[in-house]
Structure 1
Amino acid sequence: MEITFLGTGVAIPQKNRVQSGVLVRLEEKPLLIDCGSGVLNRFPDAGVSHTEVDTVLLSHLHLDHVADLHPLIKANWLRGNTSMKIYGPEGTEEWFSKVIDAYEYLQEEVDVDIIELVPGKEFTPEEFDCEISCTAATHSVPTLAYRVTGEDGEFVYSADTEPSRDVMDLAAEADLLIHECSFPSGMKVTNHTTPSSLADILEEYNNEIGSICLTHFYPEMRGHEREAVHRLKEYFEGEVIIAEDLMKLEL
């Protein structure tokens, strides 16, 4: 299982970080998790054709996680691929329909299947040899954290969230936890995570998770990356990784 971080940033532009997107290659087939602005243009740099992607998991519907989804569908259509399956939280179908209704020419040309999920759902996407489960994250809109289990390992993607026992329970016994870390320690934030707030809950799960990869960085995190790693290592024995755009991890 190969994990490529197409985007590790947020809605505010930053050098070398576009918005959220993670590409997971399970054997030969790619699964895309979130598709924020800039993610589509990362495909050539990642050495992956966008036309390979026909299945997307959306964590939630904030623009920095979905803005390139319709452009991806159009790009695939222009190259002859018209089918897409999208999994997401409550409200995904209504949101998708409202946007694509503005582009009648595209609506008539593509076949998009949307499956809305509820926390606790377990499923296997068609043509994938993996199991996926989800739980509710703690954010300002309905948000799902995902656990992907394949032959080579399993990981959890927290999505945007405050530190959450539901998310940490989902990550128990996983090889890798990809967790947002939007702001540095010392900032008072809601709906997001800092190294200190994650460390407070991580101590309870120290021996249950293999490694942690931090992502979803606001500009305020620049220069605080080593500090974040040091803070978490006080409570966590595994490796702590700072995600960068186009970084690859193998499970």
Structure 2
Amino acid sequence: MKITFLGTGVAIPQKGRVQSGLLMEIDEKKVLFDCGGGVLNRIFESGNSHTDINTIVLSHLHLDHVADVMCLLKANWLCDKFDSTIYGPSGTREWLDRLMDIYPYMKEKVSVDVVEVAPEEEFRLIDVCDVKCAAGIHSVPSLAYQVRSEDKTVVYSGDTEPCDDIMALAQGCDMLIHECSFPLEFEMTNHTTPDMLRPYIRNSGIRAVYLTHLYPHMQGYEEEALEYLKEEFEGEVHIPSDLMVVEI
């Protein structure tokens, strides 16, 4: 499996980080997880082709995770690619239908199959991997995804506080991609800080944790966050930059 971190930032602009998105390549098939503002250009900058992406998986419907979905669909149409599949939580179909109503010409140009999935649901994705969902703790319905292909397992948290359901998916996984929006001791709900996350990854058997969805508030506190987590976590801990590629 190859993971390309396309966007590791949030809705507030900051240098070097666009909004949320990552690309998983499994047996030469590519799946896009979230597609916030700036992600379409990051796909190009990463050396990938947007027309190779048939499948988009959305954690939730906040703008910094979906703003470039319509842009991607239009770019594909302009390059003679018309079919796509979007997986997402309850409400995804209504959200896309309303967008298509605003841009009616798109209805005539593209064919999008929307599959709504629910917490604890399992499904087969692109015929090469199995996916299981868990509910996050966020201000809107949000899903985390466990992706399993052969002997490799990756968990993507979406936006959430650390919670038992997501960590159950992550036990013993090769890679946990978990949001860490704010620095140590920052009082926050619906998102994660290092001190909120550390008790959950302790003794988890997770091989590596990658912290993403960083607010500008985290600038200057990255090393502090890494060192704090490493004090009680035996695996690797990283803060990826946009366009970082990791193979497992």
Could you tell me the TM-score, scaled by structure 2's length?
0.98
Name the SS of the counterpart of 2:40 in structure 1.
coil
State the AA in 2 paired with 1:79.
C
Distance of 1:152 and 1:170 partners within structure 2: 15
Name the SS of the counterpart of 2:71 in structure 1.
helix
1:56-75 correspondence runs (5 A):
56-75=56-75
8 Å Cα contact 1:119/1:134 also seen in 2: yes
- Residue 189 of structure 1 is matched in structure 2 by 188
State the AA in 1 paired with 2:127.
F
State the AA in 2 paired with 1:231.
Y
- Residue 161 of structure 1 is matched in structure 2 by 160
State the AA in 1 paired with 2:12.
I
Distance of 2:77 and 2:151 partners within structure 1: 32
Let me know the Cα RMSD of the aligned residues.
0.9
- Residue 170 of structure 1 is matched in structure 2 by 169
- How far did 1:234 drift? 1.3
Q: How many residues of Structure 1 are paired with residues of Structure 2 in the alignment?
A: 248
State the AA in 2 paired with 1:53.
I
1:88-237 correspondence runs (5 A):
88-125=88-125, 127-151=126-150, 153-203=152-202, 206-237=203-234
Distance of 2:244 and 2:156 partners within structure 1: 16
Taking a change above 3 Å as real, the CA distance of residues 106 and 212 of structure 1, as seen in their structure-2 partners, is same
Distance of 1:178 and 1:128 partners within structure 2: 23
Give unmatched runs, 5+ long, in structure 1. Answer: none
8 Å Cα contact 1:26/1:128 also seen in 2: no
Cα deviations across residues 43-93 of structure 1 (Å, max 9, x unaligned)? 121010000001010000000000000110000000000001000000000
Name the SS of the counterpart of 2:205 in structure 1.
coil
Cα deviations across residues 87-143 of structure 1 (Å, max 9, x unaligned)? 000000011110111111111111100010110111112x43110111001111000
8 Å Cα contact 1:29/1:128 also seen in 2: no
- How far did 1:186 drift? 1.6
Give unmatched runs, 5+ long, in structure 2. Answer: none
Distance of 1:105 and 1:212 partners within structure 2: 42
Distance of 1:149 and 1:31 partners within structure 2: 13
Cα deviations across residues 162-204 of structure 1 (Å, max 9, x unaligned)? 011111111012101000000001210000000011113222x
State the AA in 2 paired with 1:230.
E
Runs of 4+ in 1 over 6 A off after TM superposition: none
Could you tell me the TM-score, scaled by structure 1's length?
0.97
The question of 1:14 aligning with 2:14 is answered: yes
Distance of 1:44 and 1:113 partners within structure 2: 24
- How far did 1:207 drift? 4.1
| Aligned-residue identity in percent | 55
Distance of 1:207 and 1:115 partners within structure 2: 31
